[in-house]
Structure 1
């Protein structure tokens, strides 16, 4: 399975966390990373996104550029357990798959899959990483590449 994990683009700070919207910079970041993914061999078949506005907006931009559908998932918000996401990945049949979510989830999920722990690597806004996994599980992924805004 190939998994692309992306953090949402830059968001404003003047509202409740789940209502924060992308800034103009955040929109450009998302589009820039989507264009890089489009030119790679890592185009997803579907995008899962957090229900928070900034993640939905990022996923919509990426989905439009890549021409792939977006599905909202309630279990990939900032403070959700990466283990719950891992369970969903085990049940998933779509590959390559892209997740658009938030810190600290994107960092902890990436390290859980690639190193077997949940310490969490840092992610810039709109950064995406591509993981290759022969099987889905802790410490089963190899970091193939990353896309920076």
Structure 2
């Protein structure tokens, strides 16, 4: 809903920030050691809309909104996967996958807290469950059940 409202009033700025931010992401991935291409388009659109609104309301106009928004977006698109990569690598045992999400700071804090208080805790994969409950290991099922509990 927020992105739709932002696009109504800041559609040109949002679209331009998104396209230029993606190009900056590609350039940064090519020219820096941070080789991350952010493929989460709906998050990119949402963040571009947020930046357009925040920078405009903050007093910037036209070209400045687009230029500053695109640089911020492009930098965030390469930095957010990079800050989580050590934890992603530990879970996946590879660098072939990265987590592209603008909630990375919250995830990083959660990982750091888990690192401090989770020592010695068994991994969820190590916990033995009856075969009749194995369907709960499917993330879609687990998320659906959790959402039903939270929202009913």
TM-score with structure 2 length normalisation?
0.30
Instruction: Give the structure with the larger strand fraction.
Output: 1
Which has a greater percent of helix? 2
The structure whose RCO (Cα within 8 Å, separation 6+) is larger is: 1
Q: Structure 1 length normalisation: TM-score?
A: 0.31
